């Protein structure tokens, strides 16, 4: 007879003493007396993977986040032991595993400094309801430690003192500090004593992170199921931590086509066709550069994906072609919900092939979205992804659509608790069948991946363009993203600023916000300030919901229109600069925006800064995020900075007032920088680039810069058809030398480079190119400190 009906609580169990250990190539396994196995894999000298099981056996190793292209291999590995610890040493990290209780501590291999150590370390709680464990980790915060990262959290940069949840959630009109939002990126960065490390907790279940919130000196993370499985990444440079994390979870598979870095205009929704045409023509008439126009859900027939409304868009192919002739690329939205309609081919096919998600007992997962009741493809099934990717054939190949926007892919479900699928929904998870508890956070990612596969297939030989709302770590390999349904308020302008920085330091640089705000309506001032910030974000798009009035660059009167045009023009001029930053991101994982702490982790002033950021490598920008401002105070990181507008030089390491009326914004250029510019175009490809402009900012000393160019689309760059100009600038009191070293096989269309000198402390009286003195007849020396020279020069020497 069972007398005790209370559930036995099996909480907070911990490993006991280590009884055995094994080494197998790069992997060490430690077994405790109570049968916990800790597996440490040396991925790289700076990356250790840490995994635990409480049953003696590990689950099948499978991750959507980790890319097969991640770097592996180390230079040095040594295992030793002392009385208390096993000691794993690489050229970067010394890792101690305590014999008594399996606790782990990480030290810098160069100076033995303690970087990160377990407090209780790994512990767990058995889950009666679902089986398996709630897996937990606690670490001791080091003195003065700060925390960063975690994707799209709408909070101040430094996460210290706060707690977060990772569960991707549709969050219409979210508030500051609201959590969770649309993305789950379980990667954070710790920084103390000027040294930085990262932790990537690769677990897709609902997970929590606590940064000294519950207990003042303890940082912890835990998940509702799955394995305690994390990667420890050591810098000590924060920029290296971010690049290594990005290498691990994947860099974009290709560079974005240059046009995707232009300005995009969106609204829920532009329809019918005549309205789309009107918007397009107005851009050209007012000479506001724009590359992409979006069609939101109303282009479809009753919100059925892959259909067109006959009434509003009777001949989409012709319309898309006419837009293309004017330089506009058409991007359409595709949501995951497939309308239940027996006469709708996508629905019928999905049903026949058994591609829709089902509940635990076999019923379909039915949920309401825009089209009414829907079924949802299981994008975690590779066969479903393949099918989905083929659905884009007509849209892309035949109609000529250039990009696809994936929305509502958290997945969002209306009018139900939790706004998503219930936990019991089943998923294939690439053959590792599981419930929605495990698949939820990757559902949107796998949808975006399937969409990307389709776009890639049918856009070839051009590059694909996808944008997604939901994401898990690794999604950056396939797609760009935006920060979801924000609000037209000043507070949201500063949230957008922080979110973009945070996404960039979380490995996901192709990010922007709905410029002007999605919900509600901005006034002209807010819109202008938002455009100013938006042109410095990797993805630059105005979007708004239709019921709140117009939100085009010209909707706020001529004064605002002029300001908006001026800033979008600056973005178009800076395209080669941004493209070069993108190339560094796609190639080396270097984030496109750098928060000040990432730019200079030695300066404690930067630890709590939110507003200022570095765009690319050399431009410091700081948005105005308050109404009626004539300027603002901002912090200048160490170094000297040229005012973009006036060329005045400011010494860094101090906070100063900067004037910035509505038609201006604080923008500064690092001294010594060489900034490439293209002429203003109404869209990418409008003009053939017949001259590259280089803005050269004098510095007494040395500085290097790069310019990456290629055919602006297509895959030839992968075969070496790119042009990379490496510049070294050496400034002295009476001379300035610029050396150019060029690599790559791409031949740029221009023959000459126009160099504009800023801040030269002397008057040019002599010019040598490649050691030959040039008469002013040979080079064009203009009165305004600009010269025009052959693009092939290897050394330019100007002398007073």
Which of residues 31 and 551 has its CB atom nearest to ligand GLC in the complex?
551
> Smaller CB distance to ligand GLC: residue 485 or 695?
485
Of 268 and 554, which CB lies nearer to ligand GLC in the complex structure? 268
Q: Which is nearer to ligand GLC, 485 or 671 (CB)?
A: 485
Name the minimum Å distance from CB 166 to ligand GLC.
19
Angle between helix axes 316-325 and 273-286 (nearest 10 degrees) is 0
Q: What is the DSSP letter of 246?
A: H
Closest to 612 (Cα-Cα) out of 627, 631, 593:
593
- The residue number with the shortest CB distance to ligand GLC is 268
**Residue 269, token pair as written in the block:** 């929704």
Distance between CA atoms of 50 and 40, rounded to whole angstroms? 5
CB of 542 to ligand GLC, least distance (A): 12
- Least CB distance to ligand GLC at residue 406 (A): 10
Comparing CB distances to ligand GLC, the nearer of 146 and 542 is 542
The one-character DSSP state at 131 is S
Query: Residue 600 and residue 592: Cα distance in Å, rounded?
Result: 15
**Nearest distance from C-beta of residue 4 to ligand GLC, angstroms:** 50
Task: Give yes or no for a contact between 421 and 367, defined as CB atoms under 8 angstroms apart.
Answer: yes
Q: Cα torsion for 736, 741, 746, 749, to the nearest 10°?
A: 20
Is 570 in contact with 608 (CB distance < 8 Å)?
no
Whether omega before 269 lies within 30 degrees of 0, making that bond cis, reads yes
Enter the tokens of residue 746.
């791409």
Q: Among residues 333 and 575, whose Cβ is nearest to ligand GLC?
A: 333
Run of H or E residues at 434: strand 434-435
Q: How near is the Cβ of 296 to ligand GLC at its closest, in Å?
A: 5
Nearer to ligand GLC, 297 or 323 (CB): 297
The answer to whether residues 726 and 795 touch, using CB atoms and an 8 Å cutoff, is no
CB of 327 to ligand GLC, least distance (A): 24
Q: Can you name the residues that pair with 633 across neighbouring β-strands?
A: 657
Burial call 170-192: b when 16+ CB within 10 Å, e when fewer: bbebbeeeebbbbbbbbbbbbbb
485 among known catalytic residues? yes
Q: Which residues bind ligand GLC (CB under 6 A)?
A: 268, 296-297, 333, 407, 469, 484-485, 543
Of 133 and 555, which CB lies nearer to ligand GLC in the complex structure? 555
407 noted as active-site residue? yes
> Read out DSSP for 31-64?
EETTS-EEEEEEEETTEEEEEEESSSSPPP---S
* Residue 257 to residues 280, 289, 402, 579, 684, Cα–Cα distance (Å): 21, 16, 10, 9, 10
Q: Which candidate in 410, 611, 671, 710 is catalytic?
A: 410
| Residue with smaller CB distance to ligand GLC, 467 or 674 | 467
Cα dihedral sign for 606, 638, 567, 790? negative
Distance of closest approach, residue 441 Cβ to ligand GLC, in angstroms: 18
Say whether 354 is catalytic.
no
Catalytic: which of 485, 671, 709, 713? 485
Q: How far is the CB of 388 from ligand GLC (least distance, A)?
A: 19
In angstroms, the CA 596 to CA 613 distance is 6
**Eight-state DSSP code of residue 373:** E
Written as one string, the DSSP assignment of 185-215 is: --EEEEEETTEEEEEEE---SSEEEEESSSS
Which one of 45, 118, 273, 407 is the catalytic residue? 407
Active site residues: 407, 410, 485
């Amino acid at each position: 007879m069972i007398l005790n009906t209370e559930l036995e609580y099996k909480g907070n169990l911990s490993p006991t003493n280590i009884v055995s250990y094994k080494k197998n190539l790069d992997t060490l396994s430690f077994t405790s007396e109570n049968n916990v196995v800790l597996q440490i894999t040396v991925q790289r000298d700076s990356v250790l993977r840490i995994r635990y099981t409480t049953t003696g056996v590990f689950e099948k190793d499978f991750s959507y986040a980790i890319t097969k292209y991640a770097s592996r291999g180390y230079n040095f590995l040594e295992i030793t032991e002392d009385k208390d610890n096993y000691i794993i040493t690489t050229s970067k990290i010394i890792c101690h595993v305590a014999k008594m209780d399996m606790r782990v501590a990480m030290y810098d291999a160069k100076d033995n400094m303690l970087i990160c150590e377990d407090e209780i370390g790994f512990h767990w709680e058995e889950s009666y309801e679902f089986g398996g464990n709630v897996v937990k980790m606690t670490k001791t915060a080091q003195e003065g430690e700060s925390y960063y990262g975690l994707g799209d959290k709408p909070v101040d940069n430094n996460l210290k003192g706060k707690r977060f949840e990772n569960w991707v959630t549709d969050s219409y009109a979210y508030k500051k500090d609201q959590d969770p939002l649309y993305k789950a990126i379980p990667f954070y960065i710790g920084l103390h004593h000027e040294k930085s490390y990262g932790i990537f907790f690769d677990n897709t279940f609902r997970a929590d992170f606590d940064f000294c919130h519950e207990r003042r000196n303890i940082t912890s993370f835990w998940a509702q199921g799955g394995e305690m499985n994390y990667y420890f990444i050591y810098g000590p440079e924060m920029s290296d931590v971010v690049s290594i994390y990005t290498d691990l979870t994947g860099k974009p598979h290709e560079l974005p086509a240059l046009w995707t870095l232009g300005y995009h205009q969106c609204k829920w929704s532009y329809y019918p066709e005549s309205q789309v045409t009107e918007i397009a023509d107005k851009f050209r008439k007012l000479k506001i550069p724009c590359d992409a126009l979006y069609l939101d859900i109303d282009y479809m027939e009753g919100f059925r994906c892959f259909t067109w409304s006959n009434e509003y868009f009777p001949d989409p192919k012709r319309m898309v072609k006419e837009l293309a002739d004017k330089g506009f690329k058409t991007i359409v939205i595709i949501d995951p919900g497939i309308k239940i309609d027996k006469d709708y081919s996508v629905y019928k096919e999905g049903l026949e092939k058994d591609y829709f998600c089902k509940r635990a007992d076999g019923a379909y997962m039915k949920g309401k979205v825009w089209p009414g009741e829907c079924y949802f493809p299981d994008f975690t099934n590779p066969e479903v992804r393949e099918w989905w990717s083929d659905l884009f054939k007509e849209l892309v190949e035949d109609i000529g659509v250039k990009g696809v926007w994936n929305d509502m892919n958290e997945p969002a479900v209306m009018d139900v608790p939790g706004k998503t699928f219930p936990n019991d929904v089943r998923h294939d998870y690439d053959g590792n069948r599981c419930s929605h508890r495990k698949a939820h956070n990757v559902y949107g990612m796998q949808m975006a991946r399937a969409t990307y596969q389709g776009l890639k297939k049918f856009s070839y030989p051009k590059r694909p363009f996808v944008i997604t709302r939901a994401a898990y770590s690794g999604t950056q390999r396939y797609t760009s993203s935006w920060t979801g349904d924000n609000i037209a308020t000043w507070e949201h302008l500063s949230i957008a600023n922080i979110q973009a920085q945070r996404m960039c330091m979380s490995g996901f640089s192709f990010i922007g916000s709905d410029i002007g705000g999605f919900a509600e309506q901005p006034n002209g001032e807010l819109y202008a300030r938002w455009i100013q910030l938006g042109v410095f974000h990797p993805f630059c798009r105005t979007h708004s919901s239709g019921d709140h009035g117009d939100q085009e660059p010209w909707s706020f009167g001529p004064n605002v229109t002029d300001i908006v045009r001026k800033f979008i023009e600056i973005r178009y001029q800076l395209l080669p600069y941004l493209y070069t930053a993108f190339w560094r991101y796609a190639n080396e994982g270097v984030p496109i925006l750098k928060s000040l702490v990432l730019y200079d982790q030695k300066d404690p002033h930067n630890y709590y800064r939110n507003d200022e950021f570095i765009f690319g490598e050399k431009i410091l920008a700081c948005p105005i995020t308050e109404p009626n401002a004539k300027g603002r105070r901002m912090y200048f990181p160490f170094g000297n900075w040229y005012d973009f507008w006036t060329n005045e030089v400011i010494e860094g390491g101090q906070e100063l007032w900067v004037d910035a009326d509505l038609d201006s914004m604080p923008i500064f250029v690092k001294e010594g920088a060489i900034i490439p510019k293209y002429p203003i175009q109404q869209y990418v490809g409008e003009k053939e680039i017949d001259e590259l402009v280089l803005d050269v900012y004098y510095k007494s000393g040395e500085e290097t810069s790069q310019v990456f160019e290629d055919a602006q689309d297509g895959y030839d760059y992968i075969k070496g058809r790119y042009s990379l100009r490496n510049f070294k600038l050496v400034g002295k009191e009476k001379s300035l030398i610029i050396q150019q070293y060029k690599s790559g096989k791409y031949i740029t269309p221009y023959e000459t480079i126009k160099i504009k000198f800023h801040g030269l402390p002397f008057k040019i009286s002599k010019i040598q190119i490649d050691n030959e003195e040039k008469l002013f007849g040979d080079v064009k020396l203009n009165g305004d400190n600009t010269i025009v020279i052959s693009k092939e020069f290897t050394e330019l020497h100007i002398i007073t």
